[in-house]
């Protein structure tokens, strides 16, 4: 799983960009699977609190931190990866809408910004902790503990 974070040489990056993008998307969505599974209802849908602005920020922050760890900027490629992640996590239609709302609300919505910080912190703490921290869980905490 952590082989994803190996540095790709600039020469091979062009050849493998699509594969690398897929690996990043798979890493992010697989890393969030435990949390999303525990937030689904009987219809297998994410509950409303798992689809709020804080949650959009969390998914974006977690994805952005993963992009940073892989040397991918918030450029066209990074935005494409984040758009796909939102589609996988929230469903294609809602994910596309949520990502657009996320982009529009950055810096203007306190809950969204707090979620972004939590998502990034979860990823960095998880990968940088030599003690073997369990998988990230701040999104699940947010879901079960209303403000």
pLDDT at 35 over 70: yes
Q: Is residue 147 part of a domain?
A: no
**Residue 112: its pLDDT value, please?**
96
Q: Is residue 134 part of a domain?
A: yes
- Give the domain extent around 29: 19-142
Q: Is residue 13 part of a domain?
A: no
**Residue 37: its pLDDT value, please?**
93
Q: Is residue 2 part of a domain?
A: no
**Residue 132: its pLDDT value, please?**
67
Q: Is residue 31 part of a domain?
A: yes
Q: Tell me the pLDDT tens digit for each residue of 57-81.
A: 999 999 999 999 999 988 899 999 9
Residue partners of 33: CB distance under 8 A and separation at least 6 = none
> How far is residue 6's CA from residue 80's CA, in Å, rounded to a whole number?
21
Mean pLDDT (whole number) for 22-30 = 95
Top pLDDT among 147 and 103 is at 103
**Residue 110: its pLDDT value, please?**
96
Instruction: Tell me if 141 sits within 8 A of 119, measured CB to CB.
Output: no
**Residue 19: its pLDDT value, please?**
85
Mean pLDDT (whole number) for 82-99 = 96
User: In the predicted model, what is the mean pLDDT of the chain?
Assistant: 86
Q: Is residue 6 part of a domain?
A: no
pLDDT band at 147 (very low <50, low <70, confident <90, very high): low
Nearest by Cα to 32 from 83, 66, 3:
66
Q: Is residue 122 part of a domain?
A: yes
3-state secondary structure the chain: CHHHHCCCCHHHHHHHHHHHHHHHHHHHHHHCHHHHHHCECCCCCECHHHHCHHHHHHHHHHHHHHHHHCCCCCCHHHHHHHHHHHHHHHCHHHHHHHHHHHHHHCCCCHHHHHHHHHHHHHHHHHHHCCCCCCCCCHHHHHHHCCC
Q: How many domains does the chain have?
A: 1
**Residue 1: its pLDDT value, please?**
39
Q: Is residue 8 part of a domain?
A: no
**Residue 9: its pLDDT value, please?**
35
């Amino acid at each position: 799983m952590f082989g994803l974070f190996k540095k790709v040489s600039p020469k091979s990056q062009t050849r493998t960009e699509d594969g690398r993008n897929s690996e990043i998307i798979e890493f992010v969505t697989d890393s969030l699977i435990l949390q999303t599974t525990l937030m689904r209802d009987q219809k297998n849908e994410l509950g409303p609190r798992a689809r709020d602005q804080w949650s959009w920020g969390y998914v974006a922050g977690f994805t952005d931190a993963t992009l940073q760890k892989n040397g991918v900027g918030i450029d066209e490629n990074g935005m494409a990866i984040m758009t796909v992640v939102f589609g996988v996590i929230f469903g294609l239609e809602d994910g596309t809408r949520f990502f657009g709302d996320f982009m529009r609300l950055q810096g203007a919505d306190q809950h969204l910004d707090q979620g972004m910080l939590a998502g990034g912190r979860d990823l960095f703490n998880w990968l940088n902790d030599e003690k073997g921290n369990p998988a990230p869980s701040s999104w699940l905490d947010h879901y079960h503990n209303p403000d």
